[in-house]
Amino acid sequence: MFEEIQKKNISDLITKDTTLVIDADGLAYIPSTIVQETYITVTHTKSKRTMDFKNLTEFKGRGKGKNISPDSWLGSTNTKRAVMNQNLFDLDDFTIEQKQKDKLPLYIATNAIDNHIKMLLEKTGCSNYLLLLGSGENRRHKLPLPKKYKSNRDSTLRPLALDACRSHMKEIYKHKYVTGMEADDILSIYGFAGYQNYLKTGKFNYIVSTNDKDGFGTPSLLLDWAKNGDKLKHENFFLIPDTSKSVGGIDLIKGELKGYGLMQIIHQVLIGDDADFYFAFKNTNTSYSLGDKGLFEKLYGKTTPKDALQVLVDCYKEAYPEFVEFTAWDGSEQKLSWLEWAEMQFTCAYMPRSMKDTMSLEKLLKHFKVDY
């Protein structure tokens, strides 16, 4: 992926004083899930009888929505009830509750965290490091989107061992506890500071590590900490260029659009983000639809920021020729211009490059002389 910006060896790009800054939220979350077991408790509403299942698939099968697979428990039960001339069950006859319980001792999770951090330090050759741990809401949660920012995570159970894993990090490692902003935001600020130093001196004083695609939108020297078994998924580093050097890049991998630089920001402003729960063309007054394949076709061959940003403008104008209208998550009725709506998406997608960064989509459009 993105071989043109990959760096196998970074020894000539860093110094003995370079600091590795790590987005540590995920480093704590993933190990906390391996020491517990998740399951569901299903209660028959009328009889109050309960049963536990490993997951929803075991209970009702892989069918979407209210569809019931014949090879599931509910499907098999209905087959028997049909033979006995009894009424068949449907999903409305049951309530389903997600549950979790401890499965393995905590030290397995904390050892996994320690080994992961050790791997990153050895890979980068850095002796200086800083972990970033985030907490609470930020300015994006206040945006009047149709669905509240990241509200799709509200129903997700918080792993039982997560607090203990985060406490382990705070007790053992040098860290910064981030409030009022996302850890991603602070990571971006460090990453861009490192890139600025690289432009001046040829060396990075900060390099960053994350597995979040948001990180690929900021000029920096980045190591993806995602693992594949006991090894890093991507062994090489990514030197993400500024828009003054490159418009960035895109690739379509197994139907999923990947991007870096300005292209990654444009991608998210147009497509949105399932993980963070914001979308440009859903839950509003448009029937316009755009997916990864369609956007790849539109952006492919665009070699300048002006041309790539023009694609963004054209898509929004086509989707919203008059105005954008929807009911926000807080109950307020919204009627916006396409640019006001696009700015809201930009706020979700764009990671600041300094504590005083006031970048907006309109400023980008004006800077690159885009017709909007």
CATH number, domain containing residue 17 = 3.40.50.1010
Interval 3-26: pLDDT, tens: 999 999 999 999 999 999 999 999
Last residue of a domain, one of 102, 130, 153: 102
Last residue of a domain, one of 85, 102, 119: 102
Range of 73's domain?
Answer: 38-102
Closest CA to 150 of 273, 26, 284: 273
How many domains is the chain partitioned into structurally?
Answer: 2
Average pLDDT, integer, range 277-283: 96
Closest CA to 342 of 138, 143, 192: 143
Interval 23-32: pLDDT, tens: 999 999 999 9
Average pLDDT, integer, range 230-244: 93
Query: Are both 49 and 169 inside the same structural domain?
Result: no
Query: Are both 25 and 149 inside the same structural domain?
Result: yes
In a domain, 181, yes or no: yes
- Give the C-alpha separation, 221 to 208, whole Å: 6
* Token pair 């979407």: residue: 64
Is the confidence at residue 64, as pLDDT, over 90? no
Query: Are both 272 and 338 inside the same structural domain?
Result: yes
Average pLDDT, integer, range 80-85: 96
pLDDT computed for residue 53 by the predictor:
97
| 151-155, 215-219, 291-295: least confidently modelled range | 151-155
Interval 141-163: pLDDT, tens: 999 999 999 998 877 889 999 99
Query: Are both 59 and 185 inside the same structural domain?
Result: no
* pTM of the entire predicted model: 0.90
Query: Are both 237 and 96 inside the same structural domain?
Result: no
Is the confidence at residue 40, as pLDDT, over 80? yes
89 band by pLDDT with thresholds 50, 70 and 90? very high
Share of the chain above pLDDT 90, in %: 94
Query: Are both 67 and 206 inside the same structural domain?
Result: no
245 band by pLDDT with thresholds 50, 70 and 90? confident
pLDDT computed for residue 230 by the predictor:
87
- Give the C-alpha separation, 287 to 322, whole Å: 13
Query: Are both 244 and 158 inside the same structural domain?
Result: yes
Is the confidence at residue 46, as pLDDT, over 80? yes
Per the DSSP assignment, residues forming a β-bridge with 137 are: none
Measured between its terminal Cα atoms, the distance across the chain in Å is 32
Interval 262-275: pLDDT, tens: 999 999 999 999 99
Contact indicator for 292, 299 with CB cutoff of 8 Å: no
Query: Are both 97 and 166 inside the same structural domain?
Result: no
Query: Are both 146 and 252 inside the same structural domain?
Result: yes
Is the confidence at residue 63, as pLDDT, over 90? no
pLDDT computed for residue 209 by the predictor:
98
Contact indicator for 134, 66 with CB cutoff of 8 Å: no
Question: What value does the CA radius of gyration of the chain take, rounded to a whole number of Å?
Answer: 24
